[in-house]
Amino acid sequence: MLISLQNISKNYQNPGSGLWQEVLTDISLEINPGDSLAIAGPSGSGKSTLLNIIGTLDRPGKGTVSFDGTDINAFSENQLAAFRNRHIGFVFQQHYLLPQLSLLENVLLPVIPVKDKKLRNEATARATKLLDEVGLAGKMHHLPGQLSGGECQRGAVVRAMINEPGVILADEPTGSLDQTSAEQIGELLSEINKKNKVSLILVTHSEKLAAKMSQIYHILEGRLCKL
Ligand SMILES: Nc1ncnc2c1ncn2[C@@H]1O[C@H](COP(=O)(O)OP(=O)(O)OP(=O)(O)O)[C@@H](O)[C@H]1O
Ligand SMILES: [Mg+2]
């Protein structure tokens, strides 16, 4: 999936002073299938804002975001939600697994809108295989509270992969993990990117993780600069 950002700007109004702040200024970027990008920059520089715009969770003030040539600005909220669920995998700093569901049920959450029984069965088989590949075969029926932080995050990566997205967006995916688990998640995301040709865009403060990506960008004063 080719993702294209053209002249994106984003303003936010300060809820206290009412003043507008330009967080992103005239950002253009093309992401080809299989690309891997790290986005770094100081706290508050707009990294999550940019990732949320790419992920269609937020709309730009100016500019266009298109996927395979389709400008998604005209999409309704429902169309966007369906598009996002089908084509974009998200991983955040927190795993956001639902505490009352098993790991397997959590991984299958993005499959809920799928009504076709055959496709659902295929997704379950895929979930089992992916969980096995990340070393969680024996823990599929555990609740998140019965798993370690690193195991939950591996589960969250599998959930992001379940609908075979064209791109994975990861916002500080290793930010709440110890060094060993962080390295495992970094390795896992990189492997998925290389093996499955899924594009990977990740925001990170870790230079080690950023170095695994083929392109490194910084956001400085609202502008995206390539290192
Ligand atoms: N909904 C909002 N309303 C007003 N201002 C906002 C809103 N969301 C973000 N901001 C502001 O936009 C700026 C960029 O926020 P963003 O979350 O993108 O930063 P970040 O680079 O991800 O920072 P961090 O590394 O701390 O996660 C911040 O100054 C923040 O206060
Ligand atoms: Mg952020």
Nearest by Cα to 7 from 49, 53, 65, 67: 65
Is the CB of 12 inside a 6 Å radius of any atom of ligand 1? Answer: yes
∠ CA 183-2-205 to the nearest 5 degrees? 30
Task: Decide if domain 34-52+84-226 falls under CATH 1.10.3720.10.
Answer: no
Is the CB of 169 inside a 6 Å radius of any atom of ligand 1? Answer: no
How far is ligand 1, taken at its centre, from the CA of residue 41, in Å?
12
Ligand located closest to 220 CA: 1
Residues contacting residue 29 through CB under 8 Å, at least 6 positions apart: 3, 4, 5, 217, 224
**Domain residue limits, the chain:** 34-52+84-226
Is the CB of 174 inside a 6 Å radius of any atom of ligand 1? Answer: no
Query: Ligand 1: which residue has its CA nearest to atom 28?
Result: 44
Of 13, 23, 54, 220, the residue with max ligand 1 atoms within 8 A of its CB, to mutate for a pocket test, comes to: 23
Residues contacting residue 55 through CB under 8 Å, at least 6 positions apart: 84, 88, 90, 169
Please report, in tens digits, the pLDDT of each residue of the chain (227 residues total).
Answer: 899 999 999 999 999 999 999 999 999 999 999 999 999 999 999 999 999 999 999 999 999 999 999 999 999 999 999 999 999 999 999 999 999 999 999 999 999 888 899 999 999 999 999 999 999 999 999 999 999 999 999 999 999 999 999 999 999 999 999 999 999 999 999 999 999 889 999 999 999 999 999 999 999 999 999 98
Is the CB of 10 inside a 6 Å radius of any atom of ligand 1? Answer: no
